[in-house]
Amino acid sequence: MSIVALTAVCGSPGVSTTVVGLGLCWPRPVVLVEADPTGGSSILAGYFQGQVAHEGGLIELAMAQREDLVAAELPHQLLDLPDSQARLLPGSRSHAQAGSLTALWPALLEALRDLDETGQDVIVDAGRLGLEGSPAPLLYGADVTLLLTRSTLPAVIAATSWAETLRDQTEGAATRVGLVVVGEGHPYSAREVSDALGLPLVGTLPWDRRSAAVLSRARGSIPRRAPLRSGLSALGEAIRAHASAGVGRPASPLAWLARSVPQTMGGAR
């Protein structure tokens, strides 16, 4: 396995936090790519608490792309995450730079694929779907593309049309699309959400705000028995299994959603 892309639609399910958490517990060297087109590195500002100055990242690679030097420049733009095998490729500094990155994505995808030959994996933070400057080549060219969503009805409804788009865009492609549910049981189960969206369930993550704050804002340390710690390890294993074995697509993807909306609106759930 080489490239895993994580994305979301709405509801703040924690794509960036999940990317950092997976990177810290990943069993092989891994490169974390901040490809969120909204700009402003949430990982540098959050996990690194703004203490690390890094002027390069994607913008430097965009300049290198003009001379076909992306692969050669990539190692020079990576930052080590302490006490892990992860390195970070910081994103753009402003949403205004998103347009200038459009030509970079295909070249970056090729350079990231080459990392597999050196025993390195890649986890991409692709931000929200549908934004201007979205890194579509990374999403649809990854080995695994995961949609993160919460289990609330608004989150599931918002994700419905985008899940269909993901299925359509990856039909017949090598990419394995999957679903990660954050906060299962609030109120729907992960399996119900998977059936509603028509995406194979890869894994879940607990709604653990205290531990998530450690990854998103570097507040304290994650307790040894914290639900998020074990959840990230289990999710990493599930992602690797999904990449190697594949998971079938559920049948009748919208059947559960059609049944649930009137019940929820009527207070029957």
Confidence bin at 94 (pLDDT 50/70/90):
confident
Quote the number of domains for the chain. 1
172, 228 contact by CB (below 8 A): no
The predicted pLDDT at position 265 comes to 34
The predicted pLDDT at position 213 comes to 87
- Which pTM was predicted? 0.88
Confidence bin at 152 (pLDDT 50/70/90):
very high
The predicted pLDDT at position 64 comes to 96
More confident residue, 18 or 170: 18
Two structure tokens written together for 129: 């779907």
Query: What whole-number distance in Å separates Cα of residue 29 and Cα of residue 48?
Result: 19
Share of the chain above pLDDT 90, in %: 65
CA 53 remoteness from chain centre: 24
Stretch 94-119: mean pLDDT: 92
- Residue 257, pLDDT > 60, answer no
Give the domain extent around 98. 3-265
Q: List, in sequence order, every beta strand (DSSP E) within 57-139.
A: 79-80, 86-89, 121-128
The predicted pLDDT at position 256 comes to 36
Domain harbouring 253, CATH code: 3.40.50.300
- Residue 139, pLDDT > 90, answer yes
- Worst-scoring range by mean pLDDT, 10-14, 84-88, 136-140, 231-235? 10-14
- Residue 253, pLDDT > 90, answer no
Residue type, 132: E
The predicted pLDDT at position 82 comes to 87
- Residue 172, pLDDT > 90, answer no
Average pLDDT, the chain: 87
The predicted pLDDT at position 11 comes to 67
DSSP states along the chain: --EEEEEE-SS---HHHHHHHHHHH-SS-EEEEE--TT-S-HHHHTTTTT------THHHHHHHHTTT-HHHHGGGG-EEPTTSSEEEE---SSGGGGGGGTTHHHHHHHHHHHGGGGT-EEEEEEEETT-TT--HHHHHHSSEEEEEEESSHHHHHHHHHHHHHHHHHTTTSS-EEEEEEESTTSSS-HHHHHHHHT--EEEEE---HHHHHHHHH--S---TT-HHHHHHHHHHHHHHHHHHH--PPPSSTTHHHHHHHHHHHTT--
